[in-house]
Structure 1
Amino acid sequence: MNISVEKQPNCTATLRVEVPSETVKSERDNIVSTYASQARIQGFRPGKAPKKVIEKRFADQITEELEERLTRKAFDEALQTQDIKVLNFGHPALFNTEESGAITFESVLILAPDISLPEYKGVSISAPSAEITDQELDQQLETLRERSAEYHDVEDRPAQAGDIAVINYSGTVEGQSIEEFVGRPVGYIAGREGFWMKLDEQSFLPGFAAQLEGANKADQRTVTVTVPDDFPVSELHGKELSFEVTVNEIKEAVLPELDDEFAGKITGGKGLDELKEMLRQRMGYEKQRQIDDMKVNQIVEHFNSAVDFDLPDALLHQETQSQADQLVQRGAQSGMSEDELAAQREEIFATAGMQARTNLKTNFILQEIARAENLSVGDQELVSHLAQIASSRKENPKKFIKQLQREGRIPGIRNSMLVGKAIDFVLEHANVEEIPAETPETSEA
């Protein structure tokens, strides 16, 4: 075969193939012979129909199979003879039969980007110790007490820090309702009724809760706050918002004693010391997971800032849509309405596009590192991994693997495992500096 590849921008290339007439004839004869041996045609014994009859009766099927065989062979030869890393061979087109009997066709390929690997051994990263301190354990126990708190109505004093104020509120900015000013739904920031707010600086907007301290039940107050620059609604950044607030109720949290009785309600009868040990183990596991994520994020940031290259448009579009779908799903799960999600469509796709670019760049870099270090995922290793997934889902491993094969998902899973090996390799050879243990925060039990 005469094969040429013309590389083009955005990781595409045009593959042009010319199949000599003798190759075409040989392949066609093989196909016709197969049909002749299997076809049942009235008036002829099985396998005895003349080839001309076979060629006429099954012309379309023979041509289709011929093109498929020639295409497959051309793709295999292109991978062996051309300096290309193909992600997708596309759909061959422009099939043409020359007078000589030779066949020509073209296909648009999607290529893996050309990457000049940055230094990936000895990357400097930082992470805290995975040890759980007594202070962190005490904070977690306090969180558990707060979760088990009873809320008693307060009638004999004003609201103070740490109380719960049940409020109605509505907000304005520059004389307009917040939604009128922004021009779209903005969720809870516009106003709510019967809203439970803990009076601490972490609640709602900075400075809001402090202005309700000293309020009595049924009091009405005007609360003004300035929106920080990290607030999700960019149109409000730096704006002064004014809220008309009515305090419906004031409630005081009454925490349970930190004793064996309290521990038994959580653990099913175990004491306080056993609760502490359970929490320490659980927090340690979660903290280690967060530290691992922190290290991986630093590796990703290092690679994405160290090297740049073109990405295939088709893959970038696909990954952007996938990230956008996930953002929409998370927004819906957090309580955002369809109108709110639709109003933030541009912001969602902008965020999704940036994340998609980062994901693809990192994936390609790690695949290249895997190539450079001869990392691989063997068939037995893949099967064991899939069997573990099936077991965790309480599914039959053989049926599970066959289903993945039918859906064409096996190559993607193998690639994910390979990328994971590349990350482990980079982390194993990284220079890790230990930092104070304030971060990452441990999750609540």
Structure 2
Amino acid sequence: MQISETKNDGLARAYNVTIPASEIDSRVSAEVKRIAPQVRMAGFRPGKVPANLVKKMHGESIHADMLNQVVRESVDKVMAENKLRPAMQPSVALGEDYEQGKDATLTVELEVLPEIAAPSIEGLKLEKLTVPVSDEEVMEAVERIAGQQKSFKAAAKTKKAAEGDQLIIDFVGKLDGVEFEGGKAEDAALEIGSGRFIPGFEEQLVGAKTGDEKTITVTFPADYPAENLKGKEATFDITVKEVKVPTETKADDEFAKNLGLESLDKLKELLRGQLEQETAGLTRTQMKRALLDQLAAGHDFAVPPSMVEAEFNQIWAQLTQEAAREEDPEAAMKEIEAEKDDYRRIAERRVRLGLLLSEIGQANGVEVSNQEMQMLVQQAAQQYRPEDRQRFVEYVRNEPMAAAQLRAPLYEDKVVDFLFDKAEVTTREVTKEELQAAIEAEEGETPAAKPEAKKAPAKKKAAKADEPATEASAEANDAAAEEKPAKKPAAKKAPAKKAEQADAGEEKAEAKPAKKAPAKKAAKKAEA
């Protein structure tokens, strides 16, 4: 086998590999000899089929397998002899003029990870902004819950139903005088003004009293889930069995017990913990951004263009999806198109930070344990239907890149926590508004993130400059190097996640969907 380097330009490498025909032929002969005793053929006793007949029958597939095997080993040898650390999976091409009996010529092209000087973790100084949780905030949270726990009490039989009142009704729905499936209910609770029933239903019950019987006419929405009801006019025969009026829910021990807690104090304790956890997440975000700003300011090195392109494509895909949901998708696309270069610079910074954190983690023995990895896989599997969960686990087990991508965010967090422990941290109490303002002020403001002419607009929530590309972790790079580029099997697919299915007969009791965020307010990736 002969290996010659044909390109060494920055992080780009290319090699020509020549595999002698004799080496391929010897492997084919050895494989024929190995499988011959297992071959069955009419007219021959088991294990007695001549090797030349085995080769005649299975020679093509055996040759393909052995060629594939020697190509993989050749690529591994290129990596090992040249001490290469691939940034992404190498590109391997077999010469177009190759045929059996001839030497095989390969072209191997790749980008390597940059050599990063051991990052200094000494002298890191961070300010930790904390937000104390006051008794007033806890009580406000209690009152919010109490306000959401609506309760109603029976009103006088002469009470006419008004906005906010609850009716207990029986109803029967009919199309052209014929009762339709799913249009009947008894003792149904309807709050006037809640918008849970189809348009026009609740409004026609304003003024109804206990014991009233009436027929109303409504038109089902054109996008109603049930095909037989879309846009159809229907009547509902309604019997009002009771009118109830809302009552104030008092935040006391009895209220807490109704929620399954021992007392109001226990509820306050629980809510205080939730509020503290929420502010702790914001504090971590602020500290992480400050930490990454310091790291980015002190390190500037070339990063593999293929990794930057992959990261940019992820950012761009998210932004275009958000733009498509805007009221004016065309205008939204023009807006992000005008800032495309800024997003590409953000992608480069994120890749650089990911490589830097990876290098720090490797140099300091940061690892994700097998137990932690198993927990990650099991948690991710819960996103799938029960019958698909084991298939997902197998998929991750057999696909190194899938496992690496799952592992990468936890690995990054562990490196960040390691650096927090090493840094000199001072603490300062602030208000929640001040903490949020500090987070926004730090976004994209470090020297490495600033474009030459202007800084990246603050609205770039989806592509924060200070968020490392987690795919660039050490595990992901190692997995890319371990992939066998010559094998190229059909790509395995992870099982489909749970389908979000709407019950066609339930629209009348569904809450209205929340409005979608516009593109310029794309959701931030979690940093906690």
Q: TM-score, normalised by structure 1?
A: 0.61
Give the AA of the match of 2:75: F
Alpha-carbon RMSD across the aligned residues, in angstroms, is: 4.2
- Counterpart selection for 2:275 from 272, 279, 283: 283
| 1:430 counterpart = 2:423 | yes
**Partner residue, 1:72:** 72
C-alpha displacement at 1:366, in angstroms? 1.4
Map 1:83-162 to 2 at 5 A: 83-86=83-86, 87-94=88-95, 102-133=103-134
- 2:218 is aligned to none
Counterpart of 2:394? 402
Q: Does 1:440 align with 2:435?
A: yes
* Stretch of structure 1 that moved more, 114-123 or 99-108: 99-108
Q: Which residue of 2 aligns with 1:24?
A: 24
Structure 2: how far apart are the matches of 1:99 and 1:25? 9
Tell me: CA distance 1:423–1:135, structure 2 relative to 1, closer, same or farther (3 Å): same
User: Once the two structures are superposed, what CA deviation does each residue of 1:40-86 show, in whole Å capped at 9, x if it has no partner?
Assistant: 55665554444444444444323321221112212333333322112
Query: Is this contact kept in 1: 2:32–2:54, CA < 8 A?
Result: yes
* Structure 1 residue ranges without an equivalent (≥5): 149-255
Are residues 1:411 and 2:401 paired? no
Out of 280, 299, 307, the residue aligned to residue 315 of structure 1 is 307
**Distance in 2 separating the partners of 1:258 and 1:126:** 42
Mapped to 2, the partners of 1:44 and 1:317 lie a distance apart of: 58
Task: Work out the CA distance in 1 between the residues paired with 2:27 and 2:305.
Answer: 36
Shift of 1:27: 1.8
Which structure 2 residues correspond to residues 264-343 of structure 1 after superposition, within 5 A?
Answer: 276-331=268-323, 335-343=326-334
Of all paired residues, the percent bearing the same amino acid is 21
Alpha-carbon distance change, 435 to 96 in structure 1, aligned in 2, over 3 angstroms: farther
2 CA distance for matches of 1:290 and 1:337? Answer: 32
Q: Secondary structure at the match of 2:115?
A: coil
Count residues in correspondence: 335
Aligned to 1:205: none
CA distance in 1, matches of 2:370, 2:38: 36
- Tell me, yes or no, if the aligned pair for 1:24 and 1:101 is still in contact at 8 Å: no
- Given the alignment of the two structures, is residue 373 of structure 1 paired with residue 364 of structure 2, yes or no? yes
Q: Secondary structure at the match of 2:92?
A: coil
Segment of structure 1 superposing worse, 271-280 or 64-73 = 271-280
Relative to structure 1, the CA distance from residue 34 to residue 6 in structure 2 (aligned partners, 3 Å threshold; closer, same or farther) is: same
The one-letter code matched in structure 1 to 2:282 is: Q
Residue-by-residue CA offset, 1:6-62 (whole Å, 9 max, x unaligned)? 554463311332335654343222233345444455665554444444444444323
Q: Cα deviation per residue 1:261-300 (whole Å; 9 max; x = unaligned)?
A: 8x959x9598876665444222110111111122222222
* Offset, 1:343: 2.7
State the one-letter code of the partner of 2:78. A
CA contact (8 A) 2:129 2:429 kept: yes
SS at match of 1:344: helix
The one-letter amino acid paired with 2:80 is Q
SS at match of 1:375: coil
Deviation at 1:373, TM superposition (A): 1.7
Distance 1:306 1:16 in 2: 38
One-letter code aligned to 1:319:
E
Q: What is the distance in 2 between the residues matched to 1:22 and 1:119?
A: 52
Note closer, same or farther for the CA distance 1:51–1:133 as it changes in structure 2 (3 Å cut): same
TM-score, normalized by length of structure 2? Answer: 0.53
CA distance in 1, matches of 2:329, 2:398: 35
